[in-house]
Amino acid sequence: MTSTTSTANKMTVPGLARMKAEQQPITMLTAYDASFARLVDASGVDCVLVGDSLGNVIQGLDNTLGVSVDHMVYHVAAVRRGLNRALLVADLPFLAYHDRASALASSGRLVQAGAEMVKLEGGAALAPQVTALVEQGIPVCAHLGLTPQHVHQLGGYRVQGREASVAERLKADAHALEDAGAGLLVLECVPAELAREVAAALRIPVIGIGAGAQVDGQVLVVYDVLGISPPPRPRFVKDFMADHGDIGTALAAYVEAVRTGAFPGAEHTYR
Ligand code: KIV
């Protein structure tokens, strides 16, 4: 029998949609283990992302391409044990969703480890995978702009969408993914005006990272927020530890800064 009791204020996918409708900024941070998950959850953040950025920050790799579904499952299960309120979003790693069957198999493992939504990188070509997942009850977060799994194709970690043709393609991809059933969109490293247009045009919430302030929420890698990541740091990163004496206060300051609109500032934004 399904339990009808739930944690008060537990964040859900419909809850995120309501936040967009009510113009409440959505906060998201990454976590990769139970201890950080507990700290991040206690900060009041709405979503925790087990990102394949764990390839960089946990495994010390140059990119995310070496991360496997097994790695993701291990970290999702650990984060699950540390969470209480936040929605757990998990990245599908490189080549784990190249067709509907692989997307369903990989996502099934992530959900059984505790994920409540899966994230995938890429545009309209992924619409069949998105629809297949949503039809099986697995919510999907899309990811456009700078998609680190395409680093070789993009020629590095660069701002995306400054050229009109790329901006138009990104907008078309965003609509196609929403129409396919995506419930959330992450936009990484795109000019603020383009991100604003996409967030205004879509019904689903748009979470930015290096996408300016006029989107529906923000995400950062937790180690960037705590000043742990080695330089050079991207423009969109802010070290909240610099002005706060402990991890809990720094994480709460990030959440508060996103909610009040104090972060990101112009200095964190691309034109
Ligand atoms: O892998 C990750 O942590 C991400 C965020 C940076 C959005 O995709």
- Give CA–CA dist 55/72, Å, rounded: 10
| Per-residue pLDDT reduced to its tens digit, 157-210 | 999 999 999 999 999 999 999 999 999 999 999 999 999 999 999 999 999 999
Catalytic residues: 188
Ligand 1 binding pocket includes 219 (Cβ within 6 Å): yes
Q: How confident is the model at residue 2 (pLDDT cuts 50, 70, 90)?
A: low
Per-residue pLDDT at 5 exceeds 90: no
Q: What's the average model confidence in pLDDT over 21-47?
A: 98
Q: Characterize the bridge pairing of strands 140-145 and 117-121.
A: parallel
Please tell me the residue having the least CA distance from ligand 1 atom 3.
51
Please tell me the residue having the least CA distance from ligand 1 atom 2.
51
CA of 120 to the centre of ligand 1 (A): 10
CA of 29 to the centre of ligand 1 (A): 9
Helix (H) or strand (E) holding 249: helix 247-260
Residues forming beta bridges with residue 48, ordered by sequence position? 29, 88
- Give CA–CA dist 50/88, Å, rounded: 7
Per-residue pLDDT at 218 exceeds 70: yes
CA of 2 to the centre of ligand 1 (A): 32
Q: Is 67 left (phi over 0), alpha (psi -120 to 50) or beta?
A: beta
**What DSSP designation does 126 have?**
G
**pTM of the predicted model over 0.75:** yes
Atom of ligand 1 nearest to the CA of 209: 7
Which pLDDT score, from 0 to 100, does residue 1 have? Answer: 47
Q: What SS3 class is residue 208? A: strand
Domains and CATH numbers, the chain: 13-268 (3.20.20.60)
User: What percentage of the chain reaches a pLDDT higher than 90?
Assistant: 95
Q: What's the average model confidence in pLDDT over 59-69?
A: 97
Length of the chain: 271
CA of 10 to the centre of ligand 1 (A): 22
Per-residue pLDDT at 252 exceeds 50: yes
Task: Quote the distance between the C-alpha of residue 212 and its chain's center.
Answer: 15
Give me the chain's average pLDDT, please: 96
Per-residue pLDDT at 46 exceeds 90: yes
- Give CA–CA dist 140/138, Å, rounded: 6
Per-residue pLDDT at 55 exceeds 50: yes
Per-residue pLDDT at 146 exceeds 60: yes
Please tell me the residue having the least CA distance from ligand 1 atom 5.
51
Ligand 1 binding pocket includes 221 (Cβ within 6 Å): yes
Atom of ligand 1 nearest to the CA of 148: 8
Q: How confident is the model at residue 7 (pLDDT cuts 50, 70, 90)?
A: low
Please tell me the residue having the least CA distance from ligand 1 atom 8.
51
User: What percentage of the chain reaches a pLDDT higher than 70?
Assistant: 97
Ligand 1 binding pocket includes 53 (Cβ within 6 Å): yes
